[in-house]
Amino acid sequence: MKIIPQPSKKLVFWVVIITALLCLGLFVFWTNLKEHGNENATDGTTNLARALYKNKTQYVENNVKVITLIDQLPLPSGITRGAVELSTAEKPYGVLIHYNVDNHSITTEENDFFKNSVLLFATIDNVDKITHAGHWKISELSSYSFYYTFSRSDIENAMGFDVREYSGSEEKLAELMAKIPLRERTTNSPGSYDQESIGKLFSL
C-alpha cells in the first residue's frame, strides 16, 4: 500500500495566503472599475449640465443659443443633426429639429428624444413646442424615419412640475436629469409620417 505524504503546514500556509491575495486583488480591481465607471457617468452629467446652463436663453429667437443647446444633447447611434427651423412669428413658438438617419435598419424610441426635449424646455424659456423629424439619407426612401413632437404642457404633465424651475444652476440641471423618467416604450416604424402630415402637425 502506497502512502501519500500530506503537504507540509508551511506549504498549506502559503497556498492560503496566495489565494487570499488573489481574491483581494480581484475585489479591489472590480471595485475600482465600478467606481471609475460611476465617476465617468457623473462627469458626463456635470459637463452637460454646465454646457446647458451656460447657454440657456429666455427666447427661442436666439438661434445661436438654441442651436448650441441642441448640439450639447446626446443622440442615438447612427443619427446626426441636420437643419433646425425656429417658429418665432407668433405663438406657439416652436423648434423643429431635422435629423439624418444613416440607414433603414435604425429604429428610434420616444425615450431617445423625450429627455432631450425636457432639457430644452428647461433651458429655452419661451418655447412652446419641440419637434424631432428624422430623414433617411438614402434618396430612394422618401418617407420620414421618425417624428416626435412634445408641447410644454406634455412635458409638465409627464414630469409633474415646470422644468424651468431647475434651470437656475448647473446643480439644479443635473438634479433635473436624474428626475427624468423613462416613458413607456414607443417605437416609430419607418414611413409613419409624410411631408403633408408633418406640415399640418407642426404648422411652421
Report residue 144 as a C-alpha cell: 420620414
Report residue 87 as a C-alpha cell: 417658429
The residue ranges of the chain whose pLDDT is under 50 are: 33-41, 184-204
pLDDT confidence of residue 37: 43
Report residue 173 as a C-alpha cell: 440641471
What three-state secondary structure class fits 47? helix
Residue type, 22: L
pLDDT confidence of residue 43: 73
pLDDT confidence of residue 199: 37
d(CA 106, CA 93): 30
- What phi, psi does 107 have (nearest 5°)? -115, 155
Q: Which residue has cell 415646470? A: 162
pLDDT confidence of residue 151: 98
Say if residues 106 and 135 touch (Cβ distance below 8 Å): no
d(CA 120, CA 69): 7
Residue type, 35: E
Question: How many C-beta atoms lie closer than 10 Å to residue 117's C-beta?
Answer: 28
pLDDT confidence of residue 19: 78
pLDDT confidence of residue 28: 62
pLDDT confidence of residue 112: 87
pLDDT confidence of residue 12: 65
Q: Which residue has cell 446626426? A: 80
